[in-house]
């Protein structure tokens, strides 16, 4: 009798996911470049495209981000020197920030909501220390307001007292008194008082209880609960008027 033995061998195959071919489009400011690459990270794709970036440039996705899709878009915002003028203060900063708020933040300057800013090309390169852009901050004026016994500090771009009251939604009553005229010009650090004749006012600070919002997450186990953000009580200033 004859016997035949059938031998089967199984060969391991390498994972070729890291060798995936990708189409990468790179937007470098006003330039566009598309390459076909096996790169697995943004930095590798930039290297294959012979594009270098500095530590001040902004890359989206980040340079160390991994690539998984077959088609990828990379955006590069180049850093450039910007001269930030804040009154008599001047700060020169190298940043890739695009918005005024981000540029000011990069310069380490605090802006308030009422402040205004404008970005323009520099006329005198030597004056700006080589910066091609100049961001000018127009600060709002500070007004010390005493409203029915409550003192507060407000900022405004308004030109007159009347414009300020409308901006802050303040409508004095017909019997109210005011130490300035409606058409008086707003000056920095001016004092504005508004009072109610014949009526006393009492100012208190009261708590505002926080509300609770429940969000359904189908990825969580049924019946489980998780606090995403811990609530905190707020505060409100209440002015009571007492007529005697």
Least confident of 74-83, 90-99, 162-171, 208-217: 208-217
pLDDT in tens, 46-66: 999 999 999 889 999 999 999
3-state DSSP assignment of residue 103? helix
Q: Is the pLDDT of residue 231 over 50?
A: yes
pLDDT in tens, 111-123: 999 999 999 998 8
- pLDDT value for 15: 47
With residue 101 as reference, give the H or E element that holds it.
helix 100-106
- pLDDT value for 78: 93
With contact defined as beta carbons under 8 Å apart, do 53 and 63 qualify?
Answer: yes
Q: Is the pLDDT of residue 10 over 50?
A: no
Average pLDDT over residues 94-111: 93
pLDDT in tens, 20-50: 899 999 999 889 999 999 999 999 999 999 9
> Is 67 exposed, middle or buried, given 0-12, 13-18 or 19+ CB atoms closer than 10 A?
buried
Average pLDDT, the chain: 87
- pLDDT value for 233: 86
**Percent of the chain surpassing pLDDT 90:** 60
3-state secondary structure 150-219: EEEEEEECCCEHHHHHHHCCCCCCCCEEECCCCCCECCCCEEEEEEECCEEEEEEEEEECCCCCCCCCCC
Q: Which two tokens stand for residue 27?
A: 């937007």
With contact defined as beta carbons under 8 Å apart, do 164 and 143 qualify?
Answer: yes
Q: How confident is the model at residue 13 (pLDDT cuts 50, 70, 90)?
A: very low
CA 235/CA 230 separation, integer angstroms: 16
> Is 85 exposed, middle or buried, given 0-12, 13-18 or 19+ CB atoms closer than 10 A?
middle
pLDDT in tens, 140-196: 999 999 998 889 999 999 999 999 999 999 999 888 899 999 999 999 999 999 988
């Amino acid at each position: 009798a004859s016997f035949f033995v059938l031998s089967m061998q199984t060969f391991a195959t390498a994972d070729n996911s890291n060798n995936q071919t990708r189409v990468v489009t790179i937007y470098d400011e006003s330039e566009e470049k598309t390459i076909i690459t096996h790169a697995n990270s943004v930095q590798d794709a930039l290297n294959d495209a012979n594009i270098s970036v500095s530590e001040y440039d902004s890359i989206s996705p980040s340079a160390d981000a991994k690539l998984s899709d077959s088609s990828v878009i990379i955006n590069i915002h180049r850093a450039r020197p910007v001269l930030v003028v804040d009154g008599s203060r001047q700060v020169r900063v190298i940043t890739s920030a695009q918005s005024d708020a981000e540029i000011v933040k990069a310069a380490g300057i605090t802006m308030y909501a009422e402040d205004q800013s404008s970005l323009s090309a520099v006329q005198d390169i030597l004056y700006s220390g080589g910066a091609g852009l100049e961001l000018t901050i127009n600060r709002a004026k500070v007004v010390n307001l005493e409203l029915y016994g409550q003192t507060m500090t407000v900022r405004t771009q308004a030109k007159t007292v009347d414009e300020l009251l409308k901006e802050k939604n303040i409508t004095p009553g017909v019997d109210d008194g005011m130490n300035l005229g409606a058409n008086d010009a707003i000056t920095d650090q001016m004092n504005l008082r508004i009072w109610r004749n014949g009526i006393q006012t009492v100012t208190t600070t009261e708590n505002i209880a926080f509300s609770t919002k429940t969000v359904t997450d189908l990825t969580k186990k049924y019946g489980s609960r998780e606090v995403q953000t811990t609530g905190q009580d707020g505060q409100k200033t209440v002015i009571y008027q007492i007529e005697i």
